[in-house]
Amino acid sequence: MSVLTLREAPPERLDLHALTPLALSGLGQAEAERLPIGTSRRGLVLGDCFSVKLGGADELVIEGGHERLDRVGAALSAGTIRVEGDVGQRLGAGMAGGTLTVTGNAGPFAGAGATGGTITIEGDAGDHAGGALHAAKAGLDGATLVIRGRAGAHLGDSMRRGLIVAGEAGAFAGARMIAGTLAALRVGDHAGYGMRRGTVLVGAHGTLMPTFVETGTHDLVFLRLLARMLRPVSPGHADLLNGTPRRYSGDLATIGKGELWVAA
């Protein structure tokens, strides 16, 4: 297990995308401390901001998070990264596999374009969690993103594949969804704006889009499979499917093959 300990609040945003347990395990102490992580012309390296203790290739622990630590775990494909504290933007953006856990809060674009693995944020997430970066065709793309606290606006924007589970979410949750599954205990206004396909399951919601129509209640095998899939991730979300949830179909501004399930 490698351990990086943040010495003090970083003076600029740091880009940690290259730090994976596998990459660090192949380096000597001096090599690791010279890894460039700064984003200004000062050219900060890992040893300037963190004390470095190298270990095995399976796990990396970052002790002492900060909202200026960007792209943590973005290149992760195997192994585990655990951050004890907050992180900045693009947590696990584009990651392909492995397990990424943050005990604090995450900035915007957490899990953007992630194709595999599991990202867990025990605190809150910023806007566009599981969403698409500027000009990207898709947001979350196969990974599992779990936000125990509250997610900001545009949760799961343009997600194409995978699962998002959030405690609460802001406005425009599931906007422009292409496919995939998003479950939240509560979402803000205008969930599913422009969604084409995909499934959004909510306990409660703000103002609904006028372009969603109620299609009644249904007893579908799919819902029981969904509940079974959700239960190991979050029993509270699986419980949303107890009873007979109402189904809304939309967004009718597009092809309208998405569905919004509202717990009974």
Partner 1 sequence: MAAWVKGGAADADGAVQAAAAILAAARTPVFAGLNADVAAIRAATHLAGRIGASLDSLGSAGTYADLGALARVGAMTTTPAEVVGRADVVLLVGEAPRGAALVERLNATAPSRGRAAGGPRTLLRLDALSPLPIAVAALRAHARGHLADDHGLLALAKALAGAQYGAVLYDPAELGAAGVEMLQGLVMDLNERTRCFALSLSGADQDRAALQVAAWTTGQAIRVGFGRHVPEHDPWRFDAARLAASGEADAALWLSSRPAEAPAWLAGLPSIALVSGEPDPGMAEVVIAVGEPGAEVGGVLWNEGRAGLSYRAPAAPAARPAAAEILGRIAATLDARKDA
Residues at the contact surface with partner 1, assessed by CB under 8 A: 11-13, 36, 38-42, 68, 70, 89, 108-109, 132, 134-137, 154, 158, 172, 175-176, 190, 193-194, 209-211, 251-254, 256
Q: Hey, which residues does 52 pair with through a beta bridge?
A: 4
Q: CA torsion angle for 60, 66, 164, 238 (degrees, to 10)?
A: 90
CB atoms within 10 A of CB 7: 11
Nearer to partner 1, 90 or 150 (CB): 90
Identity of the residue numbered 231:
R
Distance from chain centroid for Cα 189? 20
Nearer to partner 1, 89 or 118 (CB): 89
Minimum distance from CB of 135 to partner 1 (Å)?
3
Minimum distance from CB of 198 to partner 1 (Å)?
16
Nearer to partner 1, 21 or 111 (CB): 111
Minimum distance from CB of 171 to partner 1 (Å)?
9
Strand-strand pairing, 80-84 and 99-102: parallel
Minimum distance from CB of 254 to partner 1 (Å)?
7
Phi-psi region of 193 (alpha: psi -120 to 50; beta: other; left: phi over 0): beta
Nearer to partner 1, 12 or 239 (CB): 12
